[in-house]
Amino acid sequence: MNLGNLRFRAYHRAAALAVTGLLACDSPEPSTTATESSTAAPGSSTDESGGQTTSGASQDTTGTGAPTSGSSQDSTETGAPTSTTTDASTTDTGAAAPSFTEVYESIFMASGCLAGYCHGNMAGELLMTDEATAYANLVEVEASQAACGLSVRVVPGAPEQSVLWRRVRPIALDEGDMCATKMPSGSMGLGEADAQLVHDWIAGGALE
């Protein structure tokens, strides 16, 4: 091969390498930097450094789940036992005790105890001219004459301790113990119904 052919081949080889290098330099290198995703969750915010904060939606919980105060209720519960009181006293049978007005009108007035020869004129030092005077001179007052070892005319709540009861009760209840003169005067004591009225009045507290 002559020198001219060698030079021609060498020239073309050099030109081909130059073209190859040029093409290689013109092709851009692929970027290795990945694009950061900037998508944020709803309700979140991104700070200046690119970090994501996850502040949830603000919820007002004031009062939520708080114990509720029940309405005010009467201290007396339904079905709870209640205590009841009454001003009226009762007899041994549970009936309401009679008042002194009943005793005064049914016994003393009806039996003539208020006559001038009797307690309308201080007989036995006991004056009973009207209801108020009679009550004041009977209840918790010392008798002018003791009877059967008793000295108080009327002891509220205790007929057997009262001189009045021992004087007016039927003689049959004395069982032969004649320690008190019977009233009304000259009798054998009151009848059963009237005597029971006096007994119940004293036993019930000797109410006015």
Secondary structure (DSSP) of 168-200: HS-GGGGTT---S--SSTTSSS--HHHHHHHHH
Spell out, as residue ranges, where the chain has pLDDT lower than 70: 1-88, 90-94
Of 151, 153, 188, nearest to 173 (Cα)?
Answer: 188
The answer to whether residues 142 and 151 touch, using CB atoms and an 8 Å cutoff, is: yes
Res 166: pLDDT: 96
pLDDT tens for 40-64 read: 444 444 444 444 444 444 444 444 4
Query: How far is Cα 20 from Cα 14, in angstroms, rounded to an integer?
Result: 10
Res 119: pLDDT: 86
Query: Where are the chain's structural domains?
Result: 100-203
Res 200: pLDDT: 97
The torsion of the CA quartet 171, 177, 182, 186, rounded to 10 degrees, works out to 80
Res 7: pLDDT: 57
pTM of the predicted model, to two decimals?
Answer: 0.56
